[in-house]
Amino acid sequence: MTELTSALTAPEFFVYCPKCATPLVTKLVNGKPRRVCPGCSYVHYVDPKVAVGVLVVENGRLLLVRRAMNPRKGKWSIPAGFVDSGEDPQETAVREALEETNLEIVITGLEDVIFNDYGKSGEAGASIFIIYQAKLMGGQLQAGDDADDARFFDIQNLPELAFTSTDQVIKKLKAAKN
């Protein structure tokens, strides 16, 4: 058991049992260290963070938003955001696009699902990133929420991108267009 694995699967900041308030201990459960309650046997499982993004391409131009906050403030990304518990990922993608760009979209397909191994890099973010293809339906382009700019860019001439996963998806998109 490495320190990194333990920090990811049995975070020490999770101190008390949410069921009975007994102090938790770290034990191996199914081969991984987990925070466990010695009182009621509750096991704390750390769930991955899930985010969604949309690829909106109009006339060879890709919709991007400039991040107004960290991480990667000032760099560009596809419209994206975290999925809330109980929320349909496609509905999240539509909501995030509207919040960040003021544009109404409809999901037309699944582009990719990317696993980001943030445990190795030490970065925070979504472990699972679902990218949808989307079609523009209406609205007036205007940045909002955690974006301070929103624009369509020629796919061959993009600004500095914020995230490796965004870069991966765009490289795949460019390759498919060639």
| One-letter amino acid for residue 67 of the chain | R
Which class is domain 3-44? mainly beta
The burial class, CB within 10 Å (0-12 / 13-18 / 19+), for 157 is exposed
50-177, CATH topology level: Nucleoside Triphosphate Pyrophosphohydrolase (3.90.79)
pLDDT per residue, tens digit, the chain (178 aa), is 445 456 678 888 999 999 999 999 999 999 999 999 999 999 999 888 899 999 999 998 999 999 998 888 899 999 999 999 899 999 999 999 999 999 999 999 999 998 877 555 445 567 899 999 999 999 999 999 889 999 999 988 999 998 888 888 888 888 877 6
Q: Where are the domains of the chain?
A: 3-44, 50-177
b or e along 160-176 (b: 16 or more beta carbons within 10 Å of the residue's beta carbon)? ebbbebbebbbeebeee
In angstroms, the CA 6 to CA 3 distance is: 5
pTM score of the predicted model: 0.82
Q: What is the pLDDT of residue 116?
A: 78
